[in-house]
Amino acid sequence: MTTILAQTVVNGLMVGMIYVLMAIGFTMVFGIMRIVNFAHGEFYMVGAFLFAILYGSNDLPFAVSLTLAVLATALLGLVMERLVFNHFRGNEINGMIASVGIALIMQNTALLIWGSSPRSVPAVVSGVLSVGDVVFPWSRLVVIFGAIVAVLLLYLLISHTQIGRAMRAVAQDSEIALVQGIRVDVIFPLAFVLGVGLAALAGALMAPVLSVSPFVGLAPTLKAFVIVVIGGLGSVPGAVAGGLLIGLLESFAGTFMSAALAEILQFLVVIAVVLLRPQGLLGRKEREA
């Protein structure tokens, strides 16, 4: 029983940390640009495909493949922000509609380029870590470790750098930030690129664990949206708490009950949060914001 519990926790942490990366990127874009980006999962998909090509097909080193996949996807995100999303800042409804269109375009473009067949990627590290009777696959531990490092680096950026302070100021009130001399025209694309980069990192980390296909980004997008509703739209700590909660809930419910029941429980949690605390677990009320 202990072995099953420990492995369930590891699985939940792996999935949860991927959800955390997705949700942080999603909530950063919303918190700063006020755009609900339903194309977020397609950047996850692009990152996964690029990593699969660089690492799986061209045998580049893991770190090089991961870095190039994230940077290339972030560059694509910058282009998208300049061409499309930049025109919908603060317009949540139109921005959301535009993001759905971008998602469909990216899905079908990937379908034309890479086809519909799922693509597998070799494991980064083979074998398992044995702790007594408990066995942890190294491939899953790599995902957890990589995601934790990314979250810590983002925390340092937001909390201990001038750029991070500027991003927090713009998220609180972009007009006042502009009056104070903050370059909001730089902060907006930077926030979008960071969000896209986190999604690409999540996709690249998960590529060796799950197969890659043009539609692989749909589920992470829905999970990210669920998580930011639970944690609070615009709240990075809420995204972390919500991502871990949903990941562990999904793992335990899927292991001891069923995958279908796990999905039901997740949305019951969402409904409960919306009814009892509409601003989310760690979000702020509109009058406070």
Give the number of other CB atoms < 10 A from CB of residue 113: 9
Strands 134-137 and 128-131 come out as antiparallel
Chain position carrying tokens 């066995």:
135
Task: Give the residue extent of every domain in the chain.
Answer: 2-217
- Please state whether the predicted TM-score (pTM) of the whole model is above 0.85: yes
Rg (alpha carbons) of the chain, rounded to whole number:
19
Compute the half-sphere exposure of residue 112: CA atoms within 13 Å on the CB side of its CA: 6
For residue 263, give the H/E element and its range.
helix 259-276
Q: Which two tokens stand for residue 118?
A: 């799922």
Distance separating alpha carbons of residues 157 and 165, to the nearest angstrom:
9
Distance separating alpha carbons of residues 189 and 191, to the nearest angstrom:
5
Burial 259-272 (b: 16+ CB within 10 A, else e): eeebeebbeebbee
Give the per-residue pLDDT at 284: 65
**Coil, strand, or helix at residue 137?**
strand
Give the per-residue pLDDT at 253: 87
Per-residue DSSP letters for 227-260? HHHHH-TT-HHHHHHHHHHHHHHHHHHHHHT-HH
**Coil, strand, or helix at residue 210?**
coil
Give the per-residue pLDDT at 285: 60
pLDDT by residue, tens only, the chain of 289 residues: 677 888 888 889 999 999 999 999 999 999 899 899 999 999 999 999 999 999 988 989 999 999 999 999 999 999 999 999 999 988 888 999 999 999 999 999 999 999 989 999 998 888 778 777 777 788 889 999 999 999 999 999 999 999 999 999 998 888 899 888 899 999 999 999 999 999 999 999 999 998 899 999 999 999 999 999 898 877 888 899 999 999 999 899 888 888 788 888 888 888 998 898 888 887 766 434 4
CA dihedral 139, 145, 148, 152 (to 10 degrees): -150
Give the per-residue pLDDT at 43: 97
Give the per-residue pLDDT at 287: 38
Residue 156 burial by Cβ neighbours in a 10 Å radius (0-12, 13-18, 19+): exposed
Give the per-residue pLDDT at 189: 94
Which residue from 168, 144, 170 is spatially nearest to 237, judged by alpha carbons? Answer: 168
